[in-house]
Amino acid sequence: MTEKSYLDLKTDVWDNGRCSGCGTCVAVCPADALYFDEGEMVANPKSNGYCKQSNDGVHCGACYEVCPRIGDQPCETLGNYLDIVAAKSAFEIPHRQSGRAVTAILANALDEGLVDAVVTVTEDRWTLKPSSVVITKTDALIHEAGSRYSWWVPLLAALKYAVVEKKYSRIAVIGVPCVVQAIARMRASDHDLIKPYAGSIRLVLGLFCTETFDYASLVLRKLKIEKKIDPAQIKKMDVKGKLEILMQEGDKAILTLNDLGSCVRNGCHICTDLTSLYSDISAGAVGSPDGSTTLVIRTPTGKNFVESAVRNGKLTITGGVDTAAIEKLANAKIKKNSGKK
């Protein structure tokens, strides 16, 4: 068992700005010794000083074991896959981002009992403040469709609640690539404290991700104070080379990515994974026509979930995905962020 502690995580990740904010270390700490502060651009977790390893020499090192920012970062574009398809939900979902295929696959999985809970991100309707959530009902999942770009929330903190408190054993996790990398580390680990998490995760659904904006920097400072945009009046946000904001009354505001540079989370600047390389299924908008989701089906487990949704009339799929467009975007991310730290 590793003898590392959060002090090594601090030296190797926190102190040099490599933390992505995935929250996995917080989730797996058995002493609840790690936490995130509230505020603008919180770069990494903190310790409350109760670490059993560093205080009492009790073997642990769980936090270090799962951190996706230890070791070399991936630099593939599409990675391994079985199939790539353009997909759409076959039923009506109001707040869609692309083809709402993610919601359709997981709604089918809940209905069929393939999973008992979905760990994902929700946001407050009025403030747009994101938080992690455990969903067990299809209606709630449909309500949560759409992307949260002002994510920054330690998503996997909700995993602890799902595994340790609720004892769900067939969990689906939706996450951006850094979250998916952390789960891959969990799945590969033989650490006694990590195994219960890995054993409870049945499906990992990774979203494509170029970067994420810090909630306080984007919504509270840039939009609310500088641009005088009231978050409660925002209907939808979409990032496609620029940030498009659709207001409740139909007006649109557009911000360039240059304008948003100061809102991008620090940890994103070294991230080289666009397509969630280690997921069971990856989902993105690029590569498919408007109104469809690109699905990169990577594992037999992922294939079973997609096939079940198609068989039950919840999802339609077609071929013809523009993989060159995905590779171009993935290569641009690798080029921009490789070798920075």
Ligand X SMILES: Cc1cc2nc3c(=O)[nH]c(=O)nc-3n(C[C@H](O)[C@H](O)[C@H](O)COP(=O)(O)OP(=O)(O)OC[C@H]3O[C@@H](n4cnc5c(N)ncnc54)[C@H](O)[C@@H]3O)c2cc1C
Nearest-approach distance from CB 23 to ligand SF4, in angstroms: 5
Among ligand X, ligand SF4, none, partner that 163 touches (CB below 5 to 8 angstroms by kind):
none
From 229, 209, 208, select the one nearest 220 (Cα to Cα). 229
From 114, 116, 88, 117, select the one nearest 103 (Cα to Cα). 88
Question: Assign residue 337 a region: left if phi > 0, alpha if psi is -120 to 50, beta otherwise?
Answer: alpha
Site string for ligand SF4, 278-297 (x = CB under 6 A): --------------------
Number of residues binding to ligand SF4, judged by CB under 6 A = 26
Nearest-approach distance from CB 296 to ligand SF4, in angstroms: 15
Q: Residues 127, 232: contact at Cβ < 8 Å? A: yes
Q: Residues 145, 97: contact at Cβ < 8 Å? A: yes
Among ligand SF4, ligand X, none, partner that 68 touches (CB below 5 to 8 angstroms by kind):
ligand SF4
Determine if 20 is a binding residue for ligand SF4 (CB under 6 A): yes
How far is 119 from 154, CA to CA, in rounded Å? 12
Site string for ligand SF4, 173-202 (x = CB under 6 A): ---xxx---x--------------------
Site for ligand SF4 in 100-159 (CB under 6 A): none
Among ligand SF4, ligand X, none, partner that 231 touches (CB below 5 to 8 angstroms by kind):
none
Among ligand SF4, ligand X, none, partner that 208 touches (CB below 5 to 8 angstroms by kind):
ligand X
Helices (H), 86-190: 101-111, 138-143, 157-160, 177-188
Furthest-apart CA atoms within the chain: distance in Å: 59
Among ligand X, ligand SF4, none, partner that 206 touches (CB below 5 to 8 angstroms by kind):
none
Among ligand X, ligand SF4, none, partner that 271 touches (CB below 5 to 8 angstroms by kind):
ligand SF4
**DSSP string across 36-81:** ---STT--S-EE-S--HHHHH-----HHHHH-TTSSPPP--SS-S-
Site for ligand SF4 in 61-90 (CB under 6 A): 66-69
> On the CB side of 286, how many CA atoms lie within 13 Å of its CA?
18
For residues 85 and 330, which CB has a smaller minimum distance to ligand SF4 in the complex?
330
For ligand X, the binding residues (CB under 6 A) are: 96-103, 120-121, 144-149, 151, 155, 174-176, 207-210, 212, 283-286, 293
Residues 191, 196, 200, CA angle at the centre, nearest 5°? 135
Nearest-approach distance from CB 168 to ligand X, in angstroms: 17
Phi–psi pair at 121, nearest 5 degrees: -115, 135
Sites of contact with ligand SF4 (CB under 6 A): 9, 13, 19-25, 44-45, 66-69, 176-178, 182, 209, 211-212, 265, 267-268, 271
